[in-house]
Structure 1
Amino acid sequence: MLYVFGGVIGGYAVACLWLCWQWLRIPKRPLNHLDMPPDFKISVIIPVRNEAAHIGVLLNDLERQTLASQHFEVWVMDDASTDRTAEIVNEFIQNKMLNLQLVSLVNAPVSSPKKRAITEALKRASGQLIITTDGDCRVGERWLEMFAQTYLETGAKLISGPVTFLKTTPTSVVEWMGEVAQTIEFASLIGTGACLLEAGHPTMCNGANLAYERAAFEAVGGFAGVEQIASGDDEFLLQKISKHFGVEKLYFLKNEAAVVSTHAQDSWQGFYHQRIRWASKWAVNKRLATMLVAVWVFLVNLLTLILLIAPFYENVVPFEFCTILLLKYVPEFLFLRLIIRFLGRKSWDCYIPIVQLFYPIYVLFFGLAAQRKGYVWKGRNLR
């Protein structure tokens, strides 16, 4: 039996080392001075619902962009907010110089509110490069300049950007631990998605920091075929564009200036529904390779959990058990360390093993929970 455990987890160790190699292979894109074509424009699309606490800060970030204002526009798509979101955006329009438009969407039942918001924005937007982010995000002043440069230099059809969680000032140990755990776990997803994209196997990206050519979106029919799935405005579009144009037209933007920061969930309920929403994309994904990876990751973590609890029943700690566990944890640690350091969390290396210890429980729980249909997001019941 231990040979089976060792074989499965040994394969996982090789995969983690392969991810490390792929991450180091991704070239860090320098920020160069680039003369923009006079007619070049970016359309930033921000679907929002009840983001009064955050939208003003994001708009301030966009007003401070180093990219010349004539080269970008901002569309805030308000999905029937019940707070002051629309009022704050309107005040910004009146008092600031940002090329900003607010569109209030009808409060109608739809399968995927975010896909509807993006589709409606594209009917109005004039940019040839589309960039999406969320209303609770923060962006650096060179964010748009980095995307513009990458697009103009490469002719990319889709550019995936890095995302992390904001550094906050937690008021309790529990909040601090939650922020650390979520940041490290999220880093694994961002890093894995970047490495698979670099290797020519695009699987994951994040709509909080995603750019694609408008013509490419139209060429693949937008969200047609996946519009009934509540989530997946990012990953399903990634797969459609990859299939149509080829992986050589897809890029990961590896530069700290391109990082988008968002808020970690501050409650168990919010965390639960967010992770169910993410996991639901895997549950409905019909690509054989994606399904096999999901099953494999689930199996690796199931075996890891068995290895962790087995000594308590045997009242011993066999050398073989420890060896197999180290075979999983050491390569995994090395990969996570690379990603969190890129994301500006160099001092968090020591917390990685703690997150690794509890990660198998997390994977098993949400892997099973995602099989049930439906979840609550932004006050709506979605499927």
Structure 2
Amino acid sequence: MLFIILMITSLYFAFNLILIAVWREMMAKHQVSAHATDTKLTVIIPVRNEEKYILQLLKNLNEQSYPADNFEVIVANDGSTDSTESIVLNYQEEAKYSLKILNLLNDASTSPKKRAIQKSIEISSGELLITTDGDCSVSPNWLMSIQQLYKNNDAKLISSPVTFTEKDSLWNTIQIIEFASLIGSGACAMYLKKPNMCNGANLAYTREVFEEVNGFAGNENVASGDDEFLMHKIAKKYPDKVFFNPVFDAIVRTASQENLTHFYQQRRRWASKWKHYDNWQVSALAVFIFLANLSVLVAYCMLDNYFGKGILLLKFSAEFYFLYSIIKFLGYQSKAKYIPIVQLIYPFYVVFFGLLAQGKGYRWKGRRLE
């Protein structure tokens, strides 16, 4: 038993060393030549009850350095019961870009977000489709950074970084650091041409490839996964045309979860798609991460001897440096002192949600979904 724990932890240590090396290489080698801003873009924003945030995002889009006459914005209003619709309609005159609102019926769709994106694509005109969420904020060069990477690489899909908007609270800081690990590891996997995760809050893909892989067909009955299932389909057909965008201007910032209840429902929603992956490599990696963190929980019970302390040191050392590299890129270098706190509680989180993923159902945006 002890030998197995040591072996798993040693592999996890080596895994993090590889991530560090890949991240450094990706950041050092990233270069994008200047290209004409002649690509028609469509920004798709699925929303449900986002009156608190949607106006800020629309204003951010009004400040884009990308030509306003060369991108359109479609807000897919998925049965909002607040003032989201009126806010969007009132902003149409002020918007420099073409702003459309697509009102969807509040029906019992199994996957409302996929439906919202699909319906938006049907009325869009862009060559490159970019999705984000209604509670996000973006920099003035957001669209430019994505379009230039697209032109430079003839990309089929581009995943750009996502983080949480900074607040003066430990709970917010913990979420920022925890989520940074997902963004960093997903970016490294894409650089190695083995993509395993992305985030629909900052995702771009061509209309042509969306139609070529038949969009969301094959996982319509899974509420979550509008981003990763599509990425896996595209990567299977074009393994060299899936890219991560390692540019600070490309970062999308979104609201962190206000409390544990909302955090639980969000992470349960994310975990619900794990068992539907048909890529054995992605599934194997998920199992490996689960076992590595389970080993830490065992080590916690052995802190009275050198073996338990050695296991924790082995896991936390390389992991700390990798997390530091990501949060530094995200502009949150001052939060590095909180990384050990996240490292201590993260194993409980991984094991808990790893087991929870075997269950069914969660609540999101006022709906009960499977």
Do both share a fold (TM > 0.5)?
A: yes
Shift of 1:21: 0.9
> Residue 212 of structure 2 is aligned with which of 219, 242, 264?
219
The equivalent residue for 2:121 is: 122
Which amino acid in 2 is paired with 1:62? L
For residues 143 and 251 of structure 1, what CA distance do their matches in structure 2 show? 16
Runs of 5+ in structure 2 lacking a partner? none
Shift of 1:153: 1.3
Listed one character per residue, the Cα deviations across residues 200-247 of structure 1 (whole Å, up to 9, x for unaligned) are 1111000000000110000000000011110001000000001112x2
TM normalised by structure 2 equals: 0.97
2:76 paired with 1:77: yes
Shift of 1:32: 5.6
> Residue 265 of structure 1 is aligned with which of 248, 257, 262?
257
How is 1:95-244 mapped onto 2 (pairs within 5 angstroms)?
95-169=94-168, 176-244=169-237
The equivalent residue for 1:172 is: none
The equivalent residue for 1:298 is: 290
Listed one character per residue, the Cα deviations across residues 169-217 of structure 1 (whole Å, up to 9, x for unaligned) are 4xxxxxx121111110100000010001111111100000000011000
For residues 366 and 84 of structure 2, what CA distance do their matches in structure 1 show? 15
Judge conservation of contact 2:301–2:308 (CA < 8 Å) in 1: no
Listed one character per residue, the Cα deviations across residues 246-299 of structure 1 (whole Å, up to 9, x for unaligned) are x21111000000000001000111100000011112122232112211111111
Listed one character per residue, the Cα deviations across residues 322-341 of structure 1 (whole Å, up to 9, x for unaligned) are 11211100011011011010
Which amino acid in 1 is paired with 2:344? L
For residues 100 and 166 of structure 1, what CA distance do their matches in structure 2 show? 25
The equivalent residue for 1:308 is: 300
For residues 300 and 125 of structure 2, what CA distance do their matches in structure 1 show? 55
For residues 6 and 345 of structure 1, what CA distance do their matches in structure 2 show? 33
The equivalent residue for 2:268 is: 276
Which range moved further: 15-24 or 26-35?
26-35
For residues 360 and 249 of structure 1, what CA distance do their matches in structure 2 show? 34
Aligned to 1:356, what secondary structure does the other structure show? helix
CA RMSD of aligned residues (A): 1.2
Judge conservation of contact 1:30–1:255 (CA < 8 Å) in 2: no
Q: Summarize the Cα distance change of 1:27–1:310 in structure 2 as closer, same or farther, 3 Å threshold.
A: closer
Which range moved further: 21-30 or 100-109?
21-30
> Residue 336 of structure 1 is aligned with which of 305, 311, 323?
323
Aligned to 1:310, what secondary structure does the other structure show? coil
For residues 325 and 106 of structure 1, what CA distance do their matches in structure 2 show? 51
How is 1:25-104 mapped onto 2 (pairs within 5 angstroms)?
25-27=25-27, 29=30, 33-37=34-38, 40-104=39-103
Listed one character per residue, the Cα deviations across residues 38-68 of structure 1 (whole Å, up to 9, x for unaligned) are xx20000000000000000000000000001
For residues 361 and 196 of structure 1, what CA distance do their matches in structure 2 show? 24
Aligned to 2:108, what secondary structure does the other structure show? coil
For residues 213 and 122 of structure 2, what CA distance do their matches in structure 1 show? 16
Aligned to 2:133, what secondary structure does the other structure show? coil
Count of aligned positions: 369
Judge conservation of contact 2:272–2:357 (CA < 8 Å) in 1: yes
The equivalent residue for 2:19 is: 19
Shift of 1:30: 5.2
Aligned to 1:265, what secondary structure does the other structure show? coil
Shift of 1:97: 2.6
Shift of 1:27: 4.0
TM normalised by structure 1 equals: 0.94
Shift of 1:6: 1.1
For residues 70 and 33 of structure 1, what CA distance do their matches in structure 2 show? 19
Aligned to 2:263, what secondary structure does the other structure show? helix
Shift of 1:31: 6.6
2:32 paired with 1:3: no
Aligned to 2:166, what secondary structure does the other structure show? coil
Judge conservation of contact 1:31–1:146 (CA < 8 Å) in 2: no
Aligned to 1:156, what secondary structure does the other structure show? coil
For residues 115 and 121 of structure 1, what CA distance do their matches in structure 2 show? 10
Q: Summarize the Cα distance change of 1:254–1:144 in structure 2 as closer, same or farther, 3 Å threshold.
A: same
For residues 25 and 31 of structure 1, what CA distance do their matches in structure 2 show? 15
Judge conservation of contact 1:23–1:195 (CA < 8 Å) in 2: yes
Which amino acid in 1 is paired with 2:19? L
Runs of 5+ in structure 1 lacking a partner? 170-175, 312-316
